[in-house]
Amino acid sequence: MSAISTTSNVVSNTIPVGGTPVAMAELPDALKLYVLNANPASVVSINPVNVTTNPPVAPFPGTSWISPVWVVTRPDSQRVYVLDEGAGSVSAIDTLTDTVVTTPASVGVGANYMVYDPNFARIYVTNPTTSTVMVLDATTDTLPATPLALENPVSLTVLPPDGSRFYVASAVFAGTAPNQTVTASVTAFSALNLSVMTTIPLTSLSRAPGCGAQTWSELSVAAAADGSRVYVGNCDAGSTALVQTSDNTELIAMEAPLGAIPPAHFAVNSVVQSGSSTVYGFNPISGPAIEAGMSATISGLRNSANNGTFVINSVGEGTFTVSNPIGVTVGAEAGTGIALTPQNPTLVIAGTQPTN
């Protein structure tokens, strides 16, 4: 792990922590920083003041770390909670002694995201594998759990300032690749009685390349500091949704801009019109491989209806298909095109507006 000086923006120290670090969390009192490692699985703590690494945290007797993936801290800095996806458990660690204090709480294998809410002293855990949201009572180290049913929950945020609501993002799949579709939504829960208030549908598109299914990065969610908005980074749709919490409606889905990856250049050799779709035959010239979701700009074709900018819906052997109801079939063509890669939001962080 690298320590970066915030005054000079240079790496000031490099600390060995184990194999494949995947998550970290610092105690509010800044006396320790906890790091989770995936391979081999381990949990270690670092002393930020003198940048030394403590001995690894041993799992509770009779258990083992399998694939720890998420870690949160308690506001009083006395406890750290580690979520192990492979073990399907949450462990409470005493930060003074770096020991797991009791038998880990069961949340089901596949649970991979959690949030600590200081308002209710709760830990919320999403498990897309079992289609549950686990609500853990953190007032006791045994972490008694209440399961809530929700299909494919992947991430969660607690609404400021009082935590009276929490919002869970979920993704439901239909079909098979490469034409799989994703229906994304955000469900608002009342924290007072753990009941569903409403479900807000979000934009749905075919799966975008690189989006991790059933992980928090597929639908990253965050709440504004004043509780007026919930933001959802929708990787599959290539947009960020703004949800207005006063009436729980989607205000807008802000489309992500095209990426800075060099474009793919190609030559068009044929055009086939099929219903509302146009299938282009192409030969690659340079750049990355053409994939579904790219924005293709085609020019130089004899029929102007075949020229233009389109989103690629699917890619075949030497062909790609776009939505273009006015395209014209031409057996032999000689045009050119470029395809740009869209960005797919995977992380949302809500800030605060500075005031004078």
pLDDT tens figures, 102-135: 999 999 999 999 999 999 999 999 999 999 999 9
Respond yes or no on whether the N-terminal peptide bond of residue 209 is cis (omega within 30° of 0): no
Question: What pLDDT does 354 receive?
Answer: 55
* pLDDT at residue number 142: 96
Instruction: Give the residues across from 211 on adjacent strands.
Output: none
- 158 half-sphere exposure, CB direction, 13 A CA radius: 21
- For residues 252-269, average pLDDT: 89
Query: Which residues are CB-contacts of 31 (< 8 A; sequence separation ≥ 6)?
Result: 47, 48, 49, 77, 95
Alpha-carbon gap, residue 194 to 196, rounded angstroms: 7
180 has pLDDT over 80: no
* Contact status, residue 158 vs residue 121, Cβ threshold 8 Å: no
Sign of CA dihedral 351, 124, 83, 79: positive
Report CA-CA distances (Å) from 122 to 26, 28, 143, 149, 317: 19, 17, 9, 17, 52
Tell me the percentage of the chain whose pLDDT exceeds 70: 96
Nearest to 126 by CA among 150, 159, 103, 106: 150
Reported as a pLDDT band with limits 50, 70 and 90, residue 178 is low
pLDDT tens track for 181-219: 788 999 999 999 999 999 999 977 655 556 778 899 999
Mean pLDDT of 218-246: 94
Main-chain phi, psi angles of 73, to 5 degrees: -115, 155
Q: What is the pLDDT of residue 353?
A: 63
User: Alpha-carbon distance 233 to 332, whole Å?
Assistant: 42
Mode of pairing for the β-strands spanning 205-206 and 219-223: unpaired
Contact 152, 216 (CB under 8 A): no
Count the neighbouring beta carbons within 10 Å of the beta carbon of residue 215: 19
68 in Cβ contact with 44 (< 8 Å): no
Q: With beta carbons less than 8 A apart as the criterion, state whether 93 and 65 touch.
A: no
Residue 258's pLDDT band, with cuts at 50, 70 and 90, is confident
The stretch 141-149 carries a mean pLDDT of 97
DSSP notation for 307-330:
-EEEEEEEE-SSEEEEE-TT---B
Q: How large is the average pLDDT for residues 254-271?
A: 90
304-328: average pLDDT:
94
Taking Cα atoms as reference points, which of 113, 112, 106, 115 lies closest to residue 146? 106
What does the alpha-carbon distance between residue 243 and residue 228 come to, in Å, rounded to a whole number?
A: 8
Q: Give mean pLDDT, residues 73-82.
A: 98
| The pairing of beta strand 264-274 with beta strand 277-286 | antiparallel
CB-based contact 245:230 (threshold 8 Å): yes
DSSP letter (8 states) at residue 27: -
- Work out the pLDDT band at 261, boundaries 50, 70, 90: confident
CB-CB neighbours of 343 under 10 Å: 16
pLDDT for residue 356: 46
199 and 309 Cβ atoms separated by less than 8 Å: no
Give the chain's mean pLDDT: 92
Q: In sequence order, what are the residues at sequence separation of 6 or more whose Cβ sits closer than 8 angstroms to the Cβ of residue 355? A: none
Which range among 13-17, 31-35, 62-66 shows the weakest confidence by mean pLDDT?
13-17
Output the six-digit token pair for 312.
């690629």
